[in-house]
Each structure stands twice: as C-alpha cells, then as structure tokens.
Amino acid sequence: MTFPFYESDPDETFRFGDIVTGFTIVTPSLKTPTIPAPTEYEISITHTHAAVLSPCCSIRDGTILLSPLLQIRTNWLKNPYFADDLTRINTPMSAQQARTPQKWEELPPEQKVELANSPSAYAELRFFIYEKHPLLPTYFVKLRNTIDKIELGYYMIDFLRLYRVKCSAIHSPTDCPIHAKILQLSIPVRRDLRTKLISFFREPEEDSFPQATTPPAGLASQDRGSQFGAD
C-alpha cells in the first residue's frame, strides 16, 4: 500500500469508516419468526469497537449505523498473498491471487486459462479489513492443525453485521461524542470501503469470482468471527 491506511491527524467529525468505541450493540436471536409477538426474548449485548457505516451526511438525529470489529478468519493466512498484507482483501485481485498456491495448482489447465483471462474481482466481498494500529489491541489466534498461536492486529468488519444504534448525543457529524472516535480512514481507504460496500449490496455474484469447482480461499469457510478483543 503506497498511502497511509489511517489519517495521522483525524478531524473532530464522525466520518464514514471511522473506528469508534463506547457504543452498545444489541443482537436479537430467535429460532423462527413468531406471530403474535412472544413475551420473552433472547438478545446478545456487545460493548465493542466498531466502524461507522453511516454516510457522513446521515449521521444526525440521534442515529448511527455501526459494524463491530471482528477478529480475522485465520484460514486467510494460508494464502501468501493475503498473509503478506491482509488489507489486499479490500480491493479487487486476480483469480490466482485469490487462491492459495495449492488450490491454484489443483485446477485443470483450461480453468486456469479461463480464470487468468477474467477481470480482477473481489475474493471476499462480504468483508473489509482494518489495518493494525497501536490504538487497536492485538490478539492471539491458534492456527489449525498446530499448537502455535500468533499475534495479530488486523480486524475485519462483516457487511452482514450492520446495526442501527440510537444515541441522543449525536446531532450531526460535528455535533457528536467525538471522544468516542479512535481512528479515521485516509481518503483513498475510505473510497475503497465505500466502493466495496456498494458492490456487496448491488449484486454480489456480479463482483466476485465464479466459484466453479474450487472457490477462492476463505469463501467456503464457516460464517463466523470472534468479537473485538476476544481471545
């Protein structure tokens, strides 16, 4: 990456892509929709760091849209292209870069040619990676089939985990609890986030590689992610 991931001198404004803290996120859980409404509910409450996904102009009237920071998927580390810089997941790439060397070599020659001639696309359309930073705590993960743990500082957000949070202290992007803001994305990175989010909600299958017989690394993994700061 030739430009900084975060602004070195963030402004006192809530912006799209900012990392904030101090907000409570509530997730309801149910086995099936119930009519009439049940008298008891199960909810999960999380107090965590999160990314602001409200457009700047819509941050007002006591409402903000957040997505919690999650620990990254460790199976991504099997791909050397990802492991070298996990923020590469944020932008389109070639089909070969999206796969581990082993998975690429397992493809039949004709499929390699077809994929090599395909345009760049997102390999992990649902996710956006946040670069490590001294203000974000590191965490340890255990790699599969090993006893070793490695320390990581990267985090991700999942576009399927968006939460509307009510906060009476939010009146506008500039009249807000600015003490909750930790980091601000640089303009190029904020543009990458906006572009990927739009691509995800437009039509995912049009913006990701054809899976054929072998999906890109990570696409077949389970849909899970540990909450920010969890070990």
pLDDT tens digits along 129-157? 999 999 999 999 988 777 788 999 999 99
Radius of gyration over every alpha carbon of the chain, rounded to an integer in angstroms: 19
Domain membership of residue 110 (yes or no) is: yes
pLDDT band at 210 (very low <50, low <70, confident <90, very high): low
Of all residues in the chain, what percent carry a pLDDT higher than 70? Answer: 87
Residue 26 forms part of a structural domain: yes
Range of the structural domain that residue 24 is part of: 19-32+41-204
6 is a domain residue: no
CA dist 54 and 162 (Å) reads: 10
Q: In the prediction, which pLDDT does 34 show?
A: 80
In this structure, are strands 42-52 and 19-29 parallel, antiparallel, or unpaired? antiparallel
Q: Evaluate whether residue 213 is within a structural domain.
A: no
- Give kind and range of the element (H or E) at residue 193: helix 187-202
Number of domains in the chain: 1
- Mean residue pLDDT across the chain: 86
Give tens-digit pLDDT for 19-73.
999 999 888 887 888 888 877 778 888 878 999 999 988 999 999 999 999 999 9
- Residue 148 and residue 161: Cα distance in Å, rounded? 30
Rounded to 5 degrees, what angle do the CA atoms 118, 120, 123 make? Answer: 105
Please report whether residue 228 resides in a domain: no
d(CA 158, CA 137): 19
pLDDT tens-digit profile of 197-206?
A: 999 988 655 5
On whether the CB atoms of residues 141 and 149 are closer than 8 A, the answer is: yes
Contacts of 156 (CB under 8 A, 6+ apart): 69, 70, 71, 72, 73, 89, 127, 128, 129, 130, 225
In a domain, 186, yes or no: yes
CB 49 within 8 A of CB 16: no
- Domain assignment of residue 1, yes or no: no
Confidence (pTM): 0.83
